[in-house]
A and B are shown apart, each in its own frame.
Chain A
């Protein structure tokens, strides 16, 4: 097919608009990254655009030496790793029975789970419930908030439903229990969906903010997100750091440097796993959207 003149104009405009959009998506990152790597003078005089001015890593040094960012980072890792493993185990064990046609009560259980997506107790009753279970100020509360996310569970279930019934029958004839069938036959064939949903949980736990604000009262147990939020909002942290460095390092840092460095420490791990993540999530979202 020949492209007409108007079509060529259309394609040109299309590429320009889309590229512009991509630039808008990227620019804020470049700006924040260069702020975190620029000097105090450049930051306070508003010289920083999308390249570092008077390059230095003082903000990062100050963050790691003068704040609790390292313990908070380790807390985040702990919350994320344990949470993701628990959630994946329970979601798979919920999804497999629900994917089986002859499972007793299948429709009822499914409805009861979907109902919780539409209606729930809300913040305060959930908090009171956690408190009566003694989970306040423990990561247990965070792991129980979203142990089985219905949306993620449905994605896994839809994938399991596509498995040929003969496969399961054959495993049964060979004497596999349900658990063995799931573990040895179904799961190895479901890697794409497991990685997708695993990533969704991973990001959810890594980005968890409200839950930590509500349930964690001991500041030593704060995760990275809550700490970075403090860095962004409390200027006295910067004053404290500057007083500290006044004696030892003789460099000054500005609030912009600290907040942007904090943001970068949140973002860098996500950028690192992003290429890996991207391979899978498009497919995962599609499965969820068609069946959910």
Chain B
């Protein structure tokens, strides 16, 4: 019996190997076509990962990535002891978490509202206004917002000054700068992010609504008990994706909206890495900062995903 199963196993293994060889031979034309992709991802995505080692070295131009002296965790120790870098890390978290909290519910609300619109022409027209800002560069959106909220030339201050004789330096106070920053983000992405929820809403069977209506459920009740639960999986998926983005508040947005006066709350990891890395050539330190950011955001994604998995909603 025992030897029988061993023979069997060996034969299966052989068959499997032969099968794989055949599969490989048949795939050769496809592999040739796939070659540029392999080359691209190795050369431009995986090789830079090897460069992350300079976070643990003291990078010298002459020595390069592979020969600069090892310094262990010195760079990280410095990052976690300097007031400036700690503030940068704190800002990244604060702006990121506020960003997710504030900008997460808006697209869901917009999708729920659009879902109740019955006039198709109106729906299509108005939706196109909501999606438009997504396609603009942050330079444009940042420029528009800093322009509107400017102290002397901004239209908001012009209006409040004319009506109440009142002006406010929105861009030069930390609290109001954060508010302007978050509203710009909502303005740009809020409408567009609703698409995914709208897509999920098209799958809700209409019989559910009819049944609920016959049972006497009002409009709001129907939204709360039928519409909302049916998009919970999408909401969780989007939450996971957004958690991963907590740390990567886009460079472009911060860079185009920040100013020296609110430097204390507006400097985030990506802008800091750009300034001290490329601006001042401190490659090791800035790489350590970047690595810290990547590891935290990867961890956040994995944690959120494992929580979601417990509710059977994991992404993988």
Contact = CB atoms under 8 A, between A and B. Distances in A.
A and B interact physically: yes
Among B38, B44, B132, B283, residue most surrounded by chain A Cβ atoms (within 10 Å): B44
B42 to A, nearest CB: 9
B34 A93 contact: yes
A122 B113 contact: no
B143 interface: yes
A232 B143 contact: yes
A70 interface: no
A286 B194 CA distance: 11
A26 B191 CA distance: 12
A93 B36 contact: yes
B131 A278 contact: yes
A105 B41 CA distance: 15
Contact of A178 (B29, B293, B294): B29
Nearest to A45: B158
Interface stretch (A4-12, A59-67, A188-196): A4-12
A55 interface: no
A14 interface: yes
A96 B2 CA distance: 45
A232 to B, nearest CB: 4
Interface string B176-218: 0000000000010001000110010000000000100100001
B195 A282 contact: yes
B298 A289 contact: no
A250 interface: no
Interface residues of A, number: 94
A120 B49 contact: yes
B36 A94 contact: yes
Nearest to B284: A124
Contact of B139 (A118, A120, A133, A232): A232
Nearest to B161: A46
Contacts of A237: none
A253 interface: no
A41 B140 CA distance: 24
B287 A25 contact: no
A228 B117 contact: no
A125 interface: yes
Contacts of B137: 206-207, 209, 225, 266
10 contacts: A14-B117, A18-B126, A21-B126, A104-B20, A109-B38, A116-B45, A120-B294, A213-B274, A229-B143, A263-B144
Interface of B: 20, 23-24, 26-27, 29-31, 33-34, 36-38, 40-41, 43-52, 54, 65, 110, 113-114, 116-118, 122, 126, 128-133, 135-140, 142-148, 153, 155, 157-158, 161, 187, 191, 195-196, 199, 210, 213, 218-220, 234, 237, 244, 251-252, 255-256, 270, 273-274, 277-278, 283, 286-287, 290-291, 293-294, 298, 301
